[in-house]
């Protein structure tokens, strides 16, 4: 996906503040953080959104969740806790159509989701 923003970040064509990387996922600080820790974890292969997951690429979910745990450790929020958000489609306000998991922490967010 030549003009996908996150594909370009993964390739290093657009700068990012990298937090973690392995064979399958790339994680970087959100440019407009909503919490003291706000990291985006993305698969290295292009998948539009959660709705783009299928039997062929579903293993990325495992890789992403492994990545999230490693990001939480690297950012020092694995014990204090964190929230993971995936926006999917219009009603959720998804703006970048490359699957990404928001990892938010470093602050008490309370029990309300919205
Ligand atoms: P979403 O609304 O779930 O699609 O989230 C997209 C996220 O990407 C937003 O939180 C943006 O702040 C973030 N974002 C957009 N461009 C960049 C960028 N160049 N580097 C890091 N984060 C970005
Ligand atoms: Zn992409």
pLDDT tens digits for range 57-105: 999 999 999 999 999 999 999 999 999 999 999 999 999 999 999 999 9
> Does any domain span residue 111?
no
Tally Cβ neighbours within 10 Å of residue 91.
Answer: 7
> Does any domain span residue 81?
yes
Task: Check residue 36 and give its pLDDT.
Answer: 98
Number of domains in the chain: 1
Whether 100 is a known active-site residue: answer: yes
Ligand 1 center–CA 30 separation, angstroms: 6
Q: Which of 38, 98, 100, 102 is catalytic?
A: 100
Tally Cβ neighbours within 10 Å of residue 106.
Answer: 16
Mutational pocket test of ligand 1: of 38, 95, 98, the residue with most ligand atoms within 8 Å of the beta carbon: 95
Tally Cβ neighbours within 10 Å of residue 37.
Answer: 22
Q: Which domain holds residue 100?
A: 5-105
CATH number at residue 77: 3.30.428.10
**Whose CA is closest to 40, among 110, 96, 113, 112?**
96
Question: Tell me: the pLDDT tens digits for 8-56?
Answer: 999 999 999 999 999 999 999 999 999 999 999 999 999 999 999 999 9
Structure tokens belonging to residue 29: 């600080």
């Amino acid at each position: 996906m030549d003009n996908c923003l996150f594909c370009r970040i993964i390739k290093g064509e657009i700068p990012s503040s990298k937090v973690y990387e392995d064979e399958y996922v790339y994680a970087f600080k959100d440019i407009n953080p909503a919490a003291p820790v706000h990291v985006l974890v993305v698969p290295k292969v292009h998948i539009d959104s959660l709705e783009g997951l299928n039997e062929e690429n579903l293993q990325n979910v495992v890789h992403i969740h492994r990545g999230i745990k490693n990001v939480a450790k690297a950012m020092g929020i694995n014990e204090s806790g964190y929230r993971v958000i995936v926006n999917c489609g219009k009603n959720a306000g998804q703006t970048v159509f490359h699957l990404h998991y928001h990892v938010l922490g470093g602050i008490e967010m309370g029990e309300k989701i919205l």
